[in-house]
Amino acid sequence: MRAFPGRFGIGFFTALLFTITGLAQETAPPEHLFFHVKLSANFDRPASGRLMIFVQHAVGAKQVDMNQMDPTSVYIAAKEVEAWTPGATVDIDADDLVSPKPLSTAPIGDYEAQAVLDEGHTYNYAGRAPGDLVSEVVRFAAWSPRRDSGPTMTLSETQPDASPVTNLATEEKAGFDSSIHPIDFVSPVLTAFWGRQIHMKGWVLTPPGYGSNGHSHYPTVYFTHGFGGTLNGLCNRYAPVFYDRMIHKQMPEMIWVLLDESSPTGTHEFADSVNNGPWGAALTNELIPFLESQYRMDARVSGRFLQGHSSGGWATLWLQVTYPKIFGGTWSTSPDPSDFHAFSTVDLYAPHANFYRSPSGEAVPIIRDHGQVRATMEQLAKLERVTGNYGGQLRSFEWVFSPRGVDGTPMPIFDRETGEVDPAVAAYWQSHYDIAHRIEENWPSLAPDLRGKIHLIVGTEDTFYLDGAAHRLAQVLDKLGAESHVIFLPGKTHFDLYQTGNDRYALFDTIAAEMYAIARPSH
């Protein structure tokens, strides 16, 4: 073999050898990347839960957390830990259980990270909760995930309570405090289902004139929150709004029953479910009669109303359709899918239906912002897999809608790896919980008590594409002559539906006035 020309010396080939070796190291599959998390010795007990690390490009954030509107912007890796001894260190494989992709594939750059221990396994539902153990934000510059190890972080703090502060004028605060009453009712039927005491919780908000008008009975609104809502949120966020607007005569005086529908599995949606138990029956047969015996509520059908947004919108729509003889109308805004031909952007009944890919092979979207896709179904599903197999939005639907599997847990509607829909589970969903299907199949028996009672309000740019199912439901209702009231607000999203100008809650006034006109037509 002919030798290279002599003008290339040995130094050149030595340099070339190092260059090739370096390139091989950069292009070869990297070893798994580990982060190291220490539990501060200052804690006085062992800890257990879901340990997660959150990593993003450095922006000087005070905390690093999941961004639902941009789920690929934050890397999240997780691991279950048990009986973690204070002072000990745990390693997390950032290429194993991770979203959106193995962290070792991230580009070189400046990053910041934070570790969180979710002891209550509530992160998938409500995010960070008071009492979660957290580290300080750690920043590291010019970091190469392929070459450098992950930093060491120490869980040294507890997450503070970030519940919103009741925003009322000083002169209104005393009246509000005397008007808000906790509900803590042990349901016999739910207790029998679970074999342990099950508490139904919420708040009764009596109107400002309740104490001085000892003989009047008031129309009552049963209101429930959406996914991620909590008992404290009902008291601190919604109740002050209703009280303030009644004080200032923006809303008529009514009793508001604020119902917590959160549970360890997500939202139970007040459905009678083989997995969550008979929440609808517990509400209508037990809790409502109890409350009407304790407060001066108008106990006529024309005096009981329902309202909710998002998952709360589905819950109240479901209750109205399932128990039409009890409620005088529902005002459901941006409800979760009410026709499963449009489960967000997936037709569950289509041949070879798939949560991840459309028939043309495109990624199925789930979150948008004024026309721009921000997240896909696959991203959401795989993010939930990292943050926990409990309480996430998609798994929450299965706890409500699915039959129970042989392992005692709800059967998945779709395969988490491939996205393929299980047609047998989809058929169960349709026959039991597809609201449009239920109304159409049972209209002759429902019509006398349901006609004119469905009020539906949705934005045409709903963030989770929920306007699609609402359109299909509206078509069914129109075909049946249901005399429903369906409004699509142009350009409105899931999060600004109630806003007019600078008033974030203006739609509440319109809805309350419509309810009151039914309860008190002579006023």
User: So what's the pLDDT on residue 56?
Assistant: 96
Cα separation values, 318 from 123, 191, 292, 315, 384, Å: 27, 22, 22, 5, 26
Q: For residue 169, what pLDDT band results from cuts at 50, 70 and 90? A: confident
CATH classification for the domain delimited by 170-339+434-519, as one of 3.40.50.1820, 3.30.1330.80, 3.30.500.10, 1.20.120.140: 3.40.50.1820
Q: Which two tokens stand for residue 90?
A: 């745990």
Cβ atoms of 246 and 373 within 8 Å: the answer is no
User: So what's the pLDDT on residue 419?
Assistant: 98
Report d(CA 476, CA 174) in Å as an integer: 48
**What proportion of the chain, given as a percentage, has pLDDT over 90?**
85
What CATH topology corresponds to 30-158?
A: Immunoglobulin-like (2.60.40)
Average pLDDT along the chain: 92
Q: For residue 164, what pLDDT band results from cuts at 50, 70 and 90? A: low
User: So what's the pLDDT on residue 168?
Assistant: 84
Q: For residue 149, what pLDDT band results from cuts at 50, 70 and 90? A: confident
User: So what's the pLDDT on residue 371?
Assistant: 87
User: So what's the pLDDT on residue 150?
Assistant: 86
Residue 124 has pLDDT above 60, yes or no: yes
Residue 8 has pLDDT above 70, yes or no: no
At 325-357, the pLDDT tens digits run 999 999 999 999 999 999 999 999 999 999 999
Indicate the range of 5-19, 126-140, 187-201 predicted with least confidence: 5-19
Mean pLDDT on 306-331:
98
User: So what's the pLDDT on residue 151?
Assistant: 87
pTM of the model: 0.91
Q: Which two tokens stand for residue 262?
A: 């959160």
Domain boundaries, the chain: 30-158, 170-339+434-519, 342-429
Residue 19 has pLDDT above 60, yes or no: no
User: So what's the pLDDT on residue 26?
Assistant: 44
Pick the closest to residue 201 from 171, 163, 231 (CA basis): 231
Burial of 8 (0-12, 13-18, 19+ CB in 10 A): exposed
Residue 222 has pLDDT above 90, yes or no: yes
Q: Are strands 47-57 and 75-84 parallel, antiparallel or unpaired?
A: antiparallel
- Angle 423-433/393-401 helices, nearest 10 degrees? 70
Q: For residue 163, what pLDDT band results from cuts at 50, 70 and 90? A: low
At 494-503, the pLDDT tens digits run 999 999 999 9
Q: Which two tokens stand for residue 280?
A: 């609808």
Residue 311 has pLDDT above 80, yes or no: yes
One-letter amino acid of 94: A
Q: What DSSP string describes 59-83?
A: S--SS----TTSGGGSEEEEEEEEE
At 76-96, the pLDDT tens digits run 999 999 999 999 999 999 999
